[in-house]
């Protein structure tokens, strides 16, 4: 999420925005996360009593481009409210169809307005071997390094930062990198493995009450929703699909789902890699930076308080 959020930021998460979620795991020790102090194996909670998902009404609905905090969906071991917390920008809402073409995100066939702080990877050729430290001092660029002895660098830059670097006297070339080859790391894989992080979709984001046609192709996209999130049994026999033991050619979703991206697009583990965020995994809206510590990435040390970021809103 850099530069909207930085390492060292302490975030205020507003759980009332989308409605506070009732605790589901009642028997747990507060402020211990998942494990007892000084132990990596003994859980700090018991699953003897678990409540079903329930959320009070919120003061607003999730909007496109909201920065949301949620429990990581792919973590199948612990209860939902004990999964790790992730923070990403909500790009796709329930019922949307999302497509990414040469890094440009489109929603329902319309290109989304570019966000000023979105970063991509750039290849930079320079005449000096001190560019990393110079860009950190002048533009506060924290991600990047020289990758060859001929002063070739890779940096994560916003469009404005890339323009600034291009105008520097010791720069020969600045080129935004893109991926053209398929990637097997992308969600959902299978026959959709031709997708990559720069060219992705189209992908329909499930909406509560919406019904889709089920076949072997569509099942690859939504099998995890059916089994892991909405808790149905699923079997395939000779290309026939059985849900809870019944032959099925369609499926109706019982929850809303969301598609999230990180603002650091070429260095983000987001929905492109692991899929949808179910509504019962959403914790709240990231609203403010309450406190922030400076970090020097050249030395991996904290360098005091970042006063300029304190009490700033997250947009």
pLDDT at residue 288, as a whole number? 76
Mean pLDDT of 223-241: 94
**Residue-wise pLDDT tens digits, 160-204:** 999 999 999 999 999 999 988 888 889 998 888 889 999 999 999
Nearest 5°: the CA angle 207, 5, 203 is 25
Say which residues have a Cβ less than 8 Å from residue 82's Cβ, sequence separation at least 6. 25, 28, 33, 34, 45, 71
Residues 6+ apart with CB under 8 A from 125: 150, 151, 152, 153, 171, 172, 173, 174
**Per-residue pLDDT, 3:** 63
If you search the block for the tokens 């390492």, which residue do you land on? 7
Q: Judge whether 51 and 24 are in contact, CB under 8 Å.
A: yes
Q: Phi and psi (nearest 5°) for 151?
A: 65, 40
pLDDT at position 304, please? Answer: 72
21-55 as b/e: b if 16+ CB within 10 A? beebbeebeeeeebeeeeeeeebbbeeeeeeeeee
Cβ-contact 55, 21 below 8 angstroms: yes
Copy the structure tokens of residue 87. Answer: 């923070």
Reported as type and span, the H/E element at residue 154 is: strand 152-158
Phi, psi (degrees; rounded to nearest 5) at 53: -65, 130
pLDDT score of 303: 62
pLDDT at 17 over 90: yes
The rounded mean pLDDT for the chain is: 89
pLDDT, one tens digit per residue, over 244-264 is: 999 999 999 999 999 999 999
| pLDDT score of 95 | 97
pLDDT at residue 295, as a whole number: 65
φ and ψ of 155, to 5 deg:
-130, 150
What is the rounded CA–CA span in Å between residue 260 and residue 106? 13
């Amino acid at each position: 999420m850099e530069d909207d959020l930085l390492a060292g930021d302490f975030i205020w998460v507003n759980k009332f925005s989308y409605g506070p979620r009732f605790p589901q795991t009642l028997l747990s020790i507060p402020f211990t996360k998942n494990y007892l102090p000084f132990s990596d194996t003994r859980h700090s909670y018991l699953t003897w009593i678990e409540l079903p998902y329930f959320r009070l009404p919120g003061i607003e609905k999730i909007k496109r481009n909201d920065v949301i905090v949620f429990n990581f969906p792919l973590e199948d071991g612990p209860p939902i409210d004990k999964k790790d917390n992730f923070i990403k920008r909500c790009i796709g809402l329930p019922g949307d169809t999302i497509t990414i073409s040469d890094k440009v995100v489109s929603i329902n066939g319309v290109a989304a307005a570019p966000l000023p702080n979105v970063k991509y990877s750039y290849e930079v050729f320079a005449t000096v071997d001190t560019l990393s430290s110079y860009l950190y001092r002048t533009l506060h660029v924290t991600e990047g390094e020289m990758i060859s002895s001929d002063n070739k660098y890779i940096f994560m830059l916003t469009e404005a930062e890339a323009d600034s670097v291009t105008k520097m006297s010791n720069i020969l070339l600045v080129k935004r990198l893109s991926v053209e080859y398929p990637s097997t790391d992308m969600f959902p894989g299978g026959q959709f493995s031709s997708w990559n992080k720069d060219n992705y979709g189209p992908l329909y984001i499930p909406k509560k009450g919406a019904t889709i046609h089920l076949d072997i192709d569509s099942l690859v996209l939504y099998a995890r929703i059916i089994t892991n999130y909405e808790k149905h049994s699923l079997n395939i026999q000779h290309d026939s699909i059985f849900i809870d033991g019944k032959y099925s050619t369609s499926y109706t979703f019982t929850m809303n789902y969301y598609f999230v991206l990180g603002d650091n697009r070429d260095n983000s583990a987001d929905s492109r890699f692991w899929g949808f965020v179910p509504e019962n995994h959403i914790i709240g809206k990231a609203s403010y930076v309450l406190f922030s510590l400076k970090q020097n990435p050249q030395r991996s040390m904290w360098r005091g308080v970042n006063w300029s970021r304190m009490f700033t809103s997250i947009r």
